[in-house]
Amino acid sequence: MKPAALPEEIHLLPADPLAERPGYALRRAANAMMGDLTSRLSAIDMRLSDASVMMLVQDRIDVTASEIGRTLDIQRANMVPLLNRLENAQLVERRPLDKRSSAIVLTLKGQQKLKQIEQITATFEEDLMERVPEIHKPHLLPALNALWR
Amino acid sequence: MKPAALPEEIHLLPADPLAERPGYALRRAANAMMGDLTSRLSAIDMRLSDASVMMLVQDRIDVTASEIGRTLDIQRANMVPLLNRLENAQLVERRPLDKRSSAIVLTLKGQQKLKQIEQITATFEEDLMERVPEIHKPHLLPALNALWR
DNA sequence: TATTGTTATACTCTATAACTATA
DNA sequence: TATAGTTATAGAGTATAACAATA
């Protein structure tokens, strides 16, 4: 049985019929979100993927480039230029674990940059969730995570 | 006040701390969704953007390339190769409205293709929503639309 | 004067294949 | 034998700037 339309949808005319499609709405929402966050992070010379790597590295010890890639769904090959950029900016270091792999660790400068990243993302997430009506708010994250985890 | 954690989150250990971030979850969910749908649509030689254009054109009369672009957030310049592809595949026609703009209309073949698109997307959307726990389901679409509309 | 369609181009992100050195 | 790191490259998708013709 189809659930009844929720209050805030009733008055919306389908000027764009695609907006009723969950896949389309998901795509547009993600694009809007990424555009906004990309622009905010560019103020501190960070890309989305840079920031996600920095945040992941913080929480783990002896994490390798391959592990980061598997966790964040970034191809192993694409981790190389990404980490090179971060290393050239002296934000991370490669510390050899054995003769073929290295732990990626934040430098002091990297830890400072991470604080900026966290300020920006915290404000960003507030602004993001502020747009969502109160009734829907607690459902968004678990619904999204159900779609990919 | 922060709402209490919902039941299905309680047992989840934050193996990936980024999964608690709504922006990150939105990005991953959208990527997973797009990968799936892209692969399904490739079976009938359609891309995501092709399918969205076909579905939009169906519902409107005398819609121009520029209007489609504005509605779907596709640059005017990028509409040209897209529509050329669809026209070469004899799925749409350009019907001159005046001396500078044309209405984009589905051909008979295009209408048949659209039926295939609708079958695929309907099944896709069922599979997509099936992954979302019942309590969250009615909240997903309105929450997503609040993020970009 | 603003808009449409168009061309050409550049840039980012992502994917793939292959290679070596090591576990 | 499988995996880590790397190189090189190719492909999507998207963005920008410019132009002629027309509203």
Task: Name the residue among A3, A26, A125 with its Cβ closest to that of B30.
Answer: A26
- A34 to chain B, any CB pair closer than 8 A? The answer is yes
- B80 to chain A, any CB pair closer than 8 A? The answer is no
Q: Given a cut of 80, is residue B16 above it in pLDDT?
A: no
Instruction: Kindly determine whether residue B6 and residue A59, on different chains, have CB atoms separated by under 8 Å.
Output: no
- B146 to chain A, any CB pair closer than 8 A? The answer is yes
Q: Given a cut of 70, is residue A148 above it in pLDDT?
A: yes
The Cα-based distances of A46 to A50, A73, A147, B78, B110 in angstroms read 6, 18, 27, 27, 43
Residues 125-144 of B with CB under 8 A from A: 125, 128-129, 131-133, 135-144
Q: Given a cut of 90, is residue B133 above it in pLDDT?
A: yes
User: How close does chain A come to B24, measured CA to CA in Å?
Assistant: 8
Q: Given a cut of 50, is residue B14 above it in pLDDT?
A: no
Per-residue pLDDT reduced to its tens digit, B62-109 = 999 999 999 999 999 999 999 999 999 999 999 999 999 999 999 999
Q: Given a cut of 70, is residue A131 above it in pLDDT?
A: yes
- Give mean pLDDT, residues A93-106: 98
- The span from the CA of A134 to the CA of A137, in Å, is 5
The Cα-based distances of B87 to A56, A133, B25, B69, B72 in angstroms read 46, 42, 37, 16, 19
Instruction: Kindly determine whether residue A55 and residue B17, on different chains, have CB atoms separated by under 8 Å.
Output: yes
Most B CBs within 10 A among A12, A13, A27, A71, hence the mutation to make, goes to A27
* Range name among A30-34, A86-90, B12-16, B83-87 with the lowest pLDDT average: B12-16
> In chain B, pLDDT over 90 holds for what percent of residues?
87
Task: Name the residue among A121, A135, A147 with its Cβ closest to that of B128.
Answer: A147
Per-residue pLDDT reduced to its tens digit, A5-47 = 444 333 333 467 898 999 999 999 999 999 999 999 999 999 9
Q: Is the CB of B76 under 7 A from strand C?
A: yes
User: What's the CA–C1' distance between A8 and C15, in Å?
Assistant: 41
| Per-residue confidence band for A99, with pLDDT thresholds at 50, 70 and 90 | very high
Half-sphere exposure of A113 (CA within 13 A, CB side): 26
Task: Give pTM, 2 decimals.
Answer: 0.91
* Range name among A17-31, A128-142, B8-22, B115-129 with the lowest pLDDT average: B8-22
